[in-house]
C-alpha cells in the first residue's frame, strides 16, 4: 500500500544499512519518481522482469499524487510506494527534504524521474545521480511548463521535421542538466499530437532503459 509518512533518522539509517548490506555492489537500486499514469514505470518493471534490464531493481516508487494509475501499477508489482505531495509540504525545502529522506531510507543508487511533474531541490549528493527523460531534443522545448503533449504541440506549431527524446542529468534548473543521450525521429507531414507522441514514447521506452544499463555497467559515470 502507498504510504505518506515521516520517519526518524534512526529508522532511516538502520534500514539503509540493512539494504546496503544485502545487495551486491553491482546491483543498481533505483527510485522511480512519477506523477501520472506510470507508463514509463511499467516499461521498467517489464524489462526488469524479462531480463532486459539486468541487475537492476526498483527500490522505491515515489508519487506526487495518490490517485494516479502509476501508484496502482506499483502496487500490482508489489513495489514499495511512497506518496509525497506538494500540498502536504508546501515549502519547497520541506518537500525536497522528504524526497531525500525517502531515498535514503531505501538505499537508492540512482533516481529516475519518469513523468515526474514537481520541482524539488536536489542536494549535492543527488546531483549526477538523478536522471530525467524528456520528450524533445533538448535544449529545444524544455523548461518550466514544457511537458507531455505541450511539447509535441510546440514541435508541430514550429514546423519541425525532426524531434525525439532526451535523457539528461537533473540539476536545480528545469531541463537544464547535462545531456546524456538523445534519439531522434521524423515528424511526418500528417502527424497529430497523438501520433507524434506515440512515436516519441516508443523512443523513450528504448532510450531510458539503455541509459540505465550503461550507468549500471559504468559506461556512463555517475
CATH number of the CATH domain containing 32: 3.40.50.170
| Whether 115 and 17 share a structural domain | yes
| Whether 166 and 93 share a structural domain | no
| Whether 99 and 149 share a structural domain | no
Cell 532503459 sits on residue: 209
What whole-number distance in Å separates Cα of residue 202 and Cα of residue 189?
19
Beta carbons of 106 and 29 less than 8 angstroms apart: yes
* pLDDT in the model for residue 14: 42
| Whether 2 and 80 share a structural domain | yes
Q: With bands split at pLDDT 50, 70 and 90, how would you rate the model's confidence at 221?
A: confident
What whole-number distance in Å separates Cα of residue 67 and Cα of residue 1?
12
- When divided into structural domains, the chain yields a total of 2
| Whether 94 and 190 share a structural domain | no
C-alpha cell belonging to residue 67: 490517485
| Whether 201 and 175 share a structural domain | yes
* pLDDT in the model for residue 6: 46
Residues near 186 by Cβ (< 8 Å), separated by ≥ 6? 161, 162, 199
Per cent of the chain over pLDDT 90 is 87
Reported as a single tens digit per residue, the pLDDT across 64-76 is 999 999 999 999 9
| Whether 175 and 121 share a structural domain | no
Least confident stretch, 13-22, 84-93, 207-216 = 13-22
What mean pLDDT is reported for the chain? 91
Query: How large is the average pLDDT for residues 90-114?
Result: 97
| Residues labelled catalytic | 134
Q: Which of 126, 156, 190 is the last residue of a domain?
A: 126
| Whether 117 and 68 share a structural domain | yes
Least confident stretch, 8-12, 131-135, 217-221 = 8-12
Residues near 51 by Cβ (< 8 Å), separated by ≥ 6? none
What whole-number distance in Å separates Cα of residue 30 and Cα of residue 150?
28
Q: Which of 126, 149, 175 is the last residue of a domain?
A: 126
Residue 27 lies in a domain: yes
| Whether 100 and 142 share a structural domain | no
Identify the bridge partners of residue 166 per DSSP, sorted by sequence position. 134, 182
Q: Residue 5 belongs to what domain range?
A: 1-126
DSSP 162: E
| Whether 141 and 112 share a structural domain | no
Q: Which of 100, 126, 152 is the last residue of a domain?
A: 126
Residue 222 lies in a domain: no
Beta carbons of 100 and 123 less than 8 angstroms apart: yes
Amino acid at each position: 500500500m502507498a504510504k505518506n509518512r515521516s520517519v526518524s533518522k534512526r529508522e532511516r539509517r538502520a534500514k539503509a544499512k540493512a539494504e546496503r548490506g544485502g545487495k551486491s555492489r553491482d546491483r543498481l537500486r533505483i527510485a522511480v519518481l512519477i506523477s501520472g499514469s506510470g507508463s514509463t514505470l511499467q516499461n521498467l518493471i517489464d524489462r526488469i522482469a524479462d531480463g532486459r534490464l539486468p541487475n537492476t531493481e526498483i527500490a522505491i516508487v515515489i508519487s506526487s499524487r495518490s490517485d494516479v494509475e502509476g501508484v496502482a501499477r506499483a502496487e500490482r508489482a508489489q513495489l514499495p510506494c511512497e506518496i509525497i505531495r506538494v500540498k502536504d509540504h508546501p515549502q519547497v525545502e520541506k518537500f525536497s527534504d522528504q524526497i531525500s529522506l525517502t531515498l535514503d531510507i531505501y538505499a537508492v543508487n540512482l533516481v529516475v524521474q519518469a513523468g515526474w511533474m514537481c520541482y524539488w531541490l536536489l542536494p549535492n549528493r543527488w546531483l549526477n545521480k538523478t536522471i530525467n527523460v524528456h520528450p524533445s531534443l533538448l535544449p529545444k522545448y524544455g523548461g518550466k511548463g514544457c511537458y507531455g503533449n505541450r511539447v509535441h504541440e510546440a514541435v508541430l506549431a514550429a514546423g519541425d521535421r525532426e524531434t525525439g527524446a532526451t535523457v539528461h542529468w537533473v540539476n536545480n534548473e528545469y531541463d537544464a542538466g547535462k545531456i546524456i543521450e538523445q534519439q531522434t525521429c521524423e515528424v511526418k507531414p500528417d502527424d497529430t499530437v497523438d501520433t507524434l507522441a506515440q512515436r516519441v514514447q516508443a523512443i523513450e521506452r528504448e532510450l531510458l532503459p539503455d541509459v540505465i544499463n550503461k550507468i549500471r555497467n559504468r559506461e556512463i559515470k555517475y
